[in-house]
Amino acid sequence: MKVIKFGGSSLASSTQLQKVLSIVQADAQRKYVIVSAPGKRFDGDTKVTDLLIQYARQTIHRQDTTAVVQTIIDRYAEIGHGFNVAEAQLTPIFNTIKNLPNQPYADNTYLMAAFKAHGERLNAQLVAAVFAQAGLNARYLDPKDAGMVVTDVPDDAQIIDSSYENIAKWADSDQILVIPGFFAYNRNGQICTFSRGGSDITGAIIARGVNAERYENFTDVDAIYAVNPSLVAEPAAINEMTFREMRELSYAGFSVFHDEALIPAIQGNITVNVKNTNHPEAPGTLIKSNREASSDYPVTGIASSSSFCSLYLRKYLLNKEVGFGRKILTILEDHHVSYEHMPSGIDDLTIIFDEHQLTPELEKDLTQEISAAVHPDEIYFTHDYSILMLVGESMRNRVGIMSRAATALANSNIKLIMVNQGASEISIMFGIHDRDADQAVVALYNEFFKK
């Protein structure tokens, strides 16, 4: 059987939901349907998740929420009315939206998580009603009843392993189960969400839990392309890629599939098929444990992400100083800050962070405490930091990829701040300035994909 996830773009309107319904009806194997909140209907539109964030903020700051509540209700009303769903089924959805501020929350972080999660929760209830009305044997399944228990981090939860045994009890369901993506519950029964885009993670968790033959992830592109299609016109489509390739690429900016969603897929060895709701006949991209070694190109994909920042430290004879790294890492640990990479030279060290973790106050505290602990000659944070990643299993067996990439970047006048080749040899990472990121991706694409 298959687990099938529809992203916000596939559920943005009643017209889109009609396509979703046809896709589910077309294959009896499609038993577990994971849904996101309604997404953007057109460029410049607002996702329901972002409307709910606005609603939560206004609630926290005791501002007037009338307009945003109406906008959210209108999104669900358009979908419901498009399928003639009875008012008796729509009214509880509208009332839940209105009553979100009146529920008890431990603090504002849980309030925010619960507001956000209702984008998916109410959409799954609505989609289940539409499916049932269309004659499918379908019903809503809440993550709590599915047995999904997550860590107590309201906006960045991780699944707890014992959940998989609970989910396994839902294998071989004779009904179509419509499950909201993006959130689950901590051990105290409070709602916690995954990070943004996290409905992909729910789909992968359910796929592993019920041991699905395939996890189909429906979105709005015909395939995963070698580069973000907003940067290059008609880029090469990737037919097959490995889990490791996709994990590196999604980490570095391929927003089409969440990097954390690869972990349950790898653990359960579930092949993922990214497909287009608007062209379900197109084969899409397969992500699996191994792929044919032969490929037209030495590189599978090129990605960049600007969501990083770095802390640079310089001190002469740093390489001889025992405990230098430990002292810094202890300070980071005390502040609950994780780091992404830490390339070093003989006299200097760069620590790269996910910049969402840092605030100006925290940066000030870290700078002061690290200065007091290790007395660097120079220390500063920079936010003008992007990571550029060249990824491909075939790179391992080829000589000269690094020199071709560096030459292409140099010819485009792109300054390299950092270079790092992972031990697995399937990726090369460059640190570059944000302003160079798009041009760098295009330069590498032209070098490796233009014949």
Ligand X SMILES: N[C@@H](CC(=O)OP(=O)(O)O)C(=O)O
Indicate the annotated binding residues: 219-220, 225
Question: Do residues 355 and 308 make contact, with C-beta atoms less than 8 angstroms apart?
Answer: yes
Sole binder of ligand ADP in the list 138, 221, 265, 414 (CB under 6 A): 221
How many chain residues bind ligand ADP (CB under 6 A)? Answer: 19
Sole binder of ligand ADP in the list 254, 385, 430, 445 (CB under 6 A): 254
Should residue 119 be labelled a site residue for ligand X when binding is judged by CB under 6 A? yes
Span of 58-66, 215-223, 368-376, 431-439 interacting with ligand ADP by CB under 6 A: 215-223
Sole binder of ligand ADP in the list 82, 229, 280, 325 (CB under 6 A): 229
The alpha-carbon radius of gyration of the chain (Å, integer) is: 23
d(CA 194, CA 143): 13
CB crowding 144-181: b at 16 or more within 10 Å, else e = eebbbbbeeebbbbebbeebbeebeebeeeeebbbbbb
Should residue 230 be labelled a site residue for ligand ADP when binding is judged by CB under 6 A? yes
Structure token digits, residue 277: 């709701």
Structure token digits, residue 335: 């502040």
Q: Is 195 exposed, middle or buried (0-12, 13-18, 19+ CB in 10 A)?
A: middle
The contact pattern for ligand X, residues 79-118, with x = CB under 6 A and - = no contact, is: ----------------------------------------
In the three-class reduction of DSSP (H, G, I as helix; E, B as strand; rest coil), residue 73 is classed as: helix
Sole binder of ligand ADP in the list 148, 224, 387, 443 (CB under 6 A): 224
Should residue 8 be labelled a site residue for ligand ADP when binding is judged by CB under 6 A? yes
Hey, how many other C-beta atoms are within 10 angstroms of the C-beta on 409? 22
Sole binder of ligand X in the list 1, 16, 33, 36 (CB under 6 A): 36
Question: Do residues 297 and 36 make contact, with C-beta atoms less than 8 angstroms apart?
Answer: no
Q: Which residues contact 268 (CB under 8 A, 6 or more apart)?
A: 207, 208, 211, 212
When CB distances to ligand ADP are compared, the closest residue is 7
Residue 242's nearest CA partner among 23, 394, 445, 20 is 394
Span of 79-87, 161-169, 222-230, 417-425 interacting with ligand ADP by CB under 6 A: 222-230
How many chain residues bind ligand X (CB under 6 A)? Answer: 15
Should residue 39 be labelled a site residue for ligand ADP when binding is judged by CB under 6 A? yes
Sole binder of ligand ADP in the list 119, 197, 376, 431 (CB under 6 A): 197
CB closer to ligand ADP out of 163 and 219 = 219
CB closer to ligand ADP out of 94 and 254 = 254
Q: Which residues contact 242 (CB under 8 A, 6 or more apart)?
A: 287, 288, 289, 290, 291, 393
The residues that touch ligand ADP, with contacts defined as CB under 6 A, are 7-10, 36, 39, 197, 219-221, 224-225, 227-230, 254-256
Residues that bind ligand X (CB under 6 A): 7-8, 36-37, 39, 47, 49, 119, 181-182, 196-200
